[in-house]
Structure 1
Amino acid sequence: MEQLSGVGVLDKAAAVLSAVEAGPVSLGELVTRTGLSRATAHRLAAALEVHRLVSRDSRGRFIPGPRLAAGGAVPLPWALVDAAAPVLTELRDATGESSQLYVRHGEVRVCVAAAERTSGLRDTVPVGSTLPMTAGSGAQVLLAFTGTASADASADANADANADANADANADANGPPVDTAIPPGAVFDAADLERVRRRGWAESVGEREAGLASVSAPVRDADGRVIAALSLSGPVARLTRSPGARHGATVAAAAERLHARPAP
């Protein structure tokens, strides 16, 4: 392969990342795309997987890992990601539907962990996928609870102070201020997000893709701040047009278990 930087192993690793960014690849396809030997391609892909730059989908193909997909200066909650696998698997097995964990990264949300339904019609969201903040129950949760330690605390603060004072309080308590505005083109509004805060979960039907439904609940850190959204998704035919009534309590309980479960 062509040497670009003068550091051979770095050029080879970059070739693997470029190949993975182009779409899911089997080991054989990775060899074809990079021109590397099978042993070298596998060794580099496995090493990049350790560093979360590469991941695997349900078919064992190499895909962008959460760090590659999320990029930038915003740190991802790695301890939470490590602890998510058993909770996502339990949720999938209890409901028969695919489950995901999303974190917000600017104008998108990133899937950092997932447990897919093993057969039948399902909503497949590979780890590393980026989805918009304008649709879906995961986006609703991440927007509804941004900058708040709890729904009750947020409501009390709104009753006792004006918007500017709230912004200052949130900045002091939770670090740098984040964008809580509803993005242009969103299919939900402020009233929808208020309902999400009141009941503790969000639902969507056909928001992100026709025929798909989802339910999401907030995952909190040790200080009570929402740092992720735990989601359940699948076809409307199974989740119905009221997926929250069917699975809201289950998803919320799973999100609470993830909050309480220590990282391995």
Structure 2
Amino acid sequence: MASKTAVGIDIGGTGIKGALVDLDKGELLTDRVKVATPQGAEPQDVLDAVKEVFARLEVTDTSVPLGVAFPAIVKNGRTLSAANVSKKWVDFEAEKFFEDGLGRGIHFANDADVAGIAEVRYGAARGKDGLVLLTTLGTGIGSALLYDGVLIPNTELGHLQRAEKKKDAEFYAAYSAMEREELDWKAWAERLQWYYDHLELLFSPDLFIVGGGVSKHADDFLPLLKLRTPIVPAVHRNNAGIIGAAALALG
């Protein structure tokens, strides 16, 4: 019996990446294609970049489902926020825009939520009861809240406010802050300590999962955190968005 497959494309603040995914195993079947997110990340420019990724994957079978993940609140196909992309995405019919531009149906969802789906189906959250909180540390901070394996969408916990600084959590503690301010692992971990302490206070989760590209360096910073809640790197690391987008495309 042939494996189930779908294409996943993950749009981020700095890069757009995609691959064909084996949904029986939760593994990439092709090399990952990646292009830079266009400067300013306006809708037409992002669509053109997505078209390039999809074309380079050379998936010509139109019956293969396509899932697209995007860094914004997504409700009923509309993007309702725009933290690291053009403000033109706010209250924008993004799903229809991509479907019209690509000439095919897609499944469209928040990027951190699809990463959570990848981890609950194939990774660190699989079979975990209770409340699992996945955070993606990259250009911003995305979040996925999973209770007994069920996704509670659009949590956007990277935008918790730090009243004393008048900046949100992702400005202070995302991986981009480490790069921007040239912090070492210890200094960055001190910021993450504040962030995860705050999440513990608000949600009392049973497990934290840390995704995003920096999760491949988990041994450099996770042991520096002192939390009551277990915290582990995402199994699928920076491919979780691709795998989750593909998984949701199939249903």
Please give the TM-score of this superposition, normalised by the length of structure 2: 0.33
Larger RCO, structure (CA 8 Å, separation 6 or more): 2
Higher strand proportion: 2
